[in-house]
Structure 1
């Protein structure tokens, strides 16, 4: 059914909020539900061989602020957990106990995400948010087991807000990702130049990876794509061209960079910007092409009435949509509340769609001091943290602080009650000269995790030659 033919006569008389409740075709939302469920099944299967490495073997898990209480399940609990996630994803796909399955998947997937900060990825965070909104959108009212078992709940339409909410959630990472790329490093080709150079040994395309025009094509092309894809998909005249560009963009990303299922999730989600009845149109097109469906116009239903008075249910839903939208729009901007460059300090970096913007290389060493004797020694990290965690931790001040506290507590348990822990962390940001990220004079045992600006993070300042020479000898 054609949305314009159904509702164009009733829209001018409707209040602004009523437009969010006008019925639109459910077909595109159903397709998104199935695609999301299938991709989540694939994601769960992809994680199964890595469960022990990421969630069972590490002696320490880097937590998120406020979620320190989250711990892995004991024994084989993590394997059971991922089994439940796979079952929930399957139920989302076929629409069986849909809302319960969506809630279970959201809670279980978010739990997995919050277990280990060293595994932070923007696309995993996005999947958590999509899983959350899937709890509320009625994507199970057609082409689902629930609709088959409960015919009274079956419907060919859904309120427009369900589609708008999915479009909003998909559009925000694009737009904010593009805005974040408007910075000095990105516009001069870093860190894209470094990443492409690491792939110079690829067959066929390898020699291109070191060409300057390729570096700037990826840098500026990525910036323009992120900024323009949403408005281009919203405008009917540019929609097909924009969709083709989106498919090409995500295909290239998926083949050059290791970013899991993210390109395929975004490619499927971009279809939500087409008219909500596009799956029916595509089905009819195939039917005519194969000669299985007669030509000719189809009858259209009369315009459906829109609400003219907001009920309590309408007000509750509008409040939820308003609060959620405000949070999604404002929370990624919190890095402006902190001093310094967010790419350096990392304060406000996560959950802000600042994707692929910085590359940090360096080293970290922790030094303990017993104030009663004045003795200072370097702490060996072998066996205390995994190599992949250590690699991610370098350049992340909050994670460095967590490990410092962990090491200090271990030494206190060994009989050094007032031990002091300091860190030497020379770091290079996007290929620049190394600088100290953490103030080496600060006792990190006295520094607490906080949402306030951290005074123990040093501003960017090049190291003196004598200090660089001493560090190279360590």
Structure 2
């Protein structure tokens, strides 16, 4: 195993991935400004639903976020051309992690994957060829890398896709009901809208989604199936890009495939890299045990975090506890109805909260369906009252519908949420049991 991981192999895949990765994150950041994503999620809101514990990041939201995303987009260009790569990659990882943590109104797992890959790339020697850094400093230039760099990416992708496949093995996916709901929102699409409403299409999408996620990485690793797997990956990810419009992720997923093709073939296809044979050599690093230890800890965390919901009371599909950071991608549709009531503990004055006074339209669509959103807003009302020297109780009436099913009571209306603590690693008792 030591010889397998620490031999030096051709680095063509890593160099190409750095170029593609930099271009994609640049497009993601500039595109977030042009499409209004930054405005909707980070400029317009006066209150943001950050990850709990990272509320302090809200102090940097506002109009300055346009410049923030321009900086990130520019760093993407620097990464792609290999200019001060290590500093550029570290700066982007820090900035993107902050964006990820400061809002979850537009949460998706793709942003989480981008965060993980950004931090992984900080520690990879991805600018040792076809870069400004290697041109300025020829001593850095090499066409070799340790094999474990490649297999870190491969193992990360195995975890992502395998968990995504297993998560789909639940009733509403297997009876195609969720797919039907998902496609109903695409009925107005030009040319393909009516096609996407066909029952047989829903069945194909459901089954193909499970099998693709489960088998794509093994199929790419096995040379006889690699070309077919790549063609299926192109179809799958382009379909997702067109139908679900999920940003750069489909193209990032395709960029990962450079790690599965033989470097010799990559050097033939892509004109920007030198066409030469790079022999494999054995060369173990000085701190081999430390390297192994760090990555073992990282991957144990990656294996454990997505299954934490099994240790919470009740069903994650209902209570959402453990849903995020678990590769449960495009798995359910939630909607909620919620109302907030405050009571002044001194005067017993009761007040009904008008959410329009606090939240954007997009935030109002989210808040009723997610328990952490409801709890955070209750804490916001409490803090706001405290600034006015008032001590209030906050009560909530909430009903939730999952995958188009009837609305059911969600939050215990008798519990004062202002006094509740949020528990990251155990069940929050103000969430009512899931309906049988």
DSSP-derived class of the 1:319 partner? helix
Does the CA-based 8 Å contact 1:89-1:105 persist in structure 2? yes
User: Given the alignment of the two structures, is residue 132 of structure 1 paired with residue 109 of structure 2, yes or no?
Assistant: no
DSSP-derived class of the 2:327 partner? coil
- Counterpart for residue 8 of structure 1: none
The answer to which of 51-60 and 176-185 deviates more is 51-60
1:316 to 269, 290, 296: 290
* CA–CA separation in structure 2 for the residues paired with 1:251 and 1:304: 38
In the TM superposition, structure 1's runs of 4+ consecutive aligned residues that sit over 4 Å from their partners are 300-303, 371-375
Superposition deviation, residue 303 in structure 1? 5.8
Distance 1:276 1:163, change over 3 A: farther
Which structure: larger Rg? 1
The answer to which of 102-111 and 68-77 deviates more is 68-77
- Counterpart for residue 381 of structure 1: 355
Does the CA-based 8 Å contact 1:29-1:276 persist in structure 2? no
- Counterpart for residue 279 of structure 1: 266
The answer to which of 166-175 and 141-150 deviates more is 166-175
Distance 1:203 1:54, change over 3 A: closer
2:281 to 304, 326, 345: 304
1:329 to 296, 303, 307: 303
1:31 to 16, 33, 45: 16
User: Given the alignment of the two structures, is residue 265 of structure 1 paired with residue 252 of structure 2, yes or no?
Assistant: yes
* CA–CA separation in structure 2 for the residues paired with 1:80 and 1:449: 33
Does the CA-based 8 Å contact 1:342-1:349 persist in structure 2? yes
- Counterpart for residue 434 of structure 1: 407
- Counterpart for residue 338 of structure 1: 312
* CA–CA separation in structure 1 for the residues paired with 2:135 and 2:228: 38
- Counterpart for residue 396 of structure 1: 370
Q: How does 1:157-236 map to 2 (within 5 A)?
A: 157-236=144-223
Does the CA-based 8 Å contact 1:193-1:215 persist in structure 2? yes
Superposition deviation, residue 397 in structure 1? 0.2
Superposition deviation, residue 306 in structure 1? 4.0
DSSP-derived class of the 2:5 partner? helix
Q: How does 1:453-472 map to 2 (within 5 A)?
A: 453-461=427-435
DSSP-derived class of the 1:427 partner? strand
Superposition deviation, residue 394 in structure 1? 2.4
Once the two structures are superposed, residues 356-407 of structure 1 have per-residue CA deviations (whole angstroms, 9 ceiling, x without a partner) of 1110122111112234454534211112111111212221101110001112
- Counterpart for residue 57 of structure 1: 44
User: Given the alignment of the two structures, is residue 370 of structure 1 paired with residue 344 of structure 2, yes or no?
Assistant: yes
| TM-score, normalised with respect to structure 2 | 0.94
User: Given the alignment of the two structures, is residue 148 of structure 1 paired with residue 135 of structure 2, yes or no?
Assistant: yes
* CA–CA separation in structure 2 for the residues paired with 1:176 and 1:346: 16
* CA–CA separation in structure 2 for the residues paired with 1:283 and 1:132: 26
Does the CA-based 8 Å contact 1:247-1:267 persist in structure 2? yes
* CA–CA separation in structure 2 for the residues paired with 1:301 and 1:381: 62
Superposition deviation, residue 182 in structure 1? 0.8
DSSP-derived class of the 1:442 partner? coil
Once the two structures are superposed, residues 122-178 of structure 1 have per-residue CA deviations (whole angstroms, 9 ceiling, x without a partner) of 111111111111111111111111111111111011110111112222332211100
2:420 to 422, 428, 447: 447
The answer to which of 69-78 and 85-94 deviates more is 69-78
| TM-score, normalised with respect to structure 1 | 0.86
* CA–CA separation in structure 2 for the residues paired with 1:158 and 1:59: 47
